[in-house]
Amino acid sequence: MEQIIKIKAQMLGNVEISYEGKPFTIERNNTTKVNQLFQMLLYYPNGLAREQIMYNLFHNEEIADPSNSLRALVFRLRKALPKVGLPEEDYVHVKRGIYKINSNIEVECDAIIFEDVAKKALAADTLPEQLAALKEACDMYKGDFLPGLSGSDWVITVQVKLKRLYTRCVKQLCEICLVEKDYRTINQVAHKANTLYPYDGWQTYEMQALIELGKSKDALKLYEETENLMFEELGVSIPPEMTKQLEELGAQVKNNTDMISEVKKNLDTSKEDIEGAFYCSYPNFVECYRYIKRVIMRSGQAAWLMLCTITDGKGFALENSDRLNTLADELNEAIRVSTRGGDMYARYSNNQFVVLLLDITQEDCVLVQARINDNLSKESRKRYIKYNVAPVNLASAGTSEDTAELNNIIQGE
């Protein structure tokens, strides 16, 4: 009886191929052509046609003789596997133009198993059977297929297919658990999906689960993190579903008579440094700006907006670079220590900060600019910072024009 050689291949989230519990790598890493050929054969147990393999491996490259290059890769693969500790065997079987792993090789591939379980889950006839399979599929999925090869067309095709299956499983499982009021499962499954794909909106399910589980602080934290992520990374607002959930969260807080003491405790134990201006994310800056306009409209205080732009020294906005990052860090600190505790500022873009200066005249704005320049690390730095100021229009306080007006001022319109 011929020996059965068992190879375990993990391809979701990261790549690890092992024999008898010992991981191995052919050649220098998992992304060489020999490894790509091996991974292809492991994922397609029924084999691939020669033309398809050559296309997968070489279609983006100038190869004089793809057939000869493929033969060389097969030769190297056959020689390499015994060298990393596997038994002597002809691992690549070729017949009538079809390349496949030898029948003596038993392959356990997590991507193949996940795909089978996910399809079984989505096609299940009974709810208990579907629930069990959905949970198994969602637990098995660890991330993108062969993430180190995301530039290869064949890998991208499989990545998209498997991620689509995972998405369907997560959504189906969460919807079923909503009906069953199984919020712990929703929280667990949606949190994992959100960790893997933070821009796909899984925060909606996770936040709803947290609200239902009475974890209002965690729900609010998730909302704020999502708001910052969406705005800073994508420049978009959070989904309307989460805005609605925030209202539900507010109702939950109002119905909790003990919550005010917890809120006060959290505020009193805040470690915020009250020296210098208050820094916040731009979405929070917008909301604070709208509120402060209402307050100072009644008090009669004057307020000015100041835009600090990092330039190349010649008046043009500095583009992304290590130099920009260094100057941005310096400017951030200089603004903080040069303004008062009642002022507020935020990073508007990669090369701009916006500052709200309260109870101040236009002449005083010039003094603030001078202090910021003085607090930069070098005298020469100040020629890289361009300042623009504009008065805050209190007449629009409390209207729907607040946010648009703020953006117009910042953009110089």
For the segment 184-237, what is each residue's pLDDT rounded down to a tens digit?
999 999 999 999 999 888 988 998 899 889 888 888 888 878 877 776 666 666
Among residues 379, 337, 378, the alpha carbon closest in space to that of 355 is found at 337
Residue with tokens 């500052």: 355
pLDDT per position as a tens digit, 65-82:
889 999 999 999 999 999
pLDDT per position as a tens digit, 305-343:
999 999 888 878 888 778 888 888 999 999 999 998 889
Mean pLDDT (the chain, rounded): 85
pLDDT at 257: 45
CB atoms within 10 A of CB 193: 25
Q: Which two tokens stand for residue 321?
A: 């670079």
- With 50 as the cut, is the pLDDT of residue 253 above it? no
pLDDT at 40: 94
CB atoms within 10 A of CB 110: 18
Residue with tokens 């296309």: 55
C-beta separation of 48 from 41 below 8 A: yes
pLDDT per position as a tens digit, 85-113:
899 888 899 999 999 999 888 999 999 99
pLDDT per position as a tens digit, 122-167:
999 999 999 999 999 999 999 999 998 877 889 999 999 999 999 9
- With 70 as the cut, is the pLDDT of residue 354 above it? yes
pLDDT at 260: 47
pLDDT per position as a tens digit, 258-303:
444 554 555 454 445 557 888 888 878 888 888 888 888 777 788 8
pLDDT at 263: 47
pLDDT at 238: 65
DSSP secondary structure string for all residues of 32-58: SHHHHHHHHHHH-TT-EEHHHHHHHHH
pLDDT band at 250 (very low <50, low <70, confident <90, very high): low
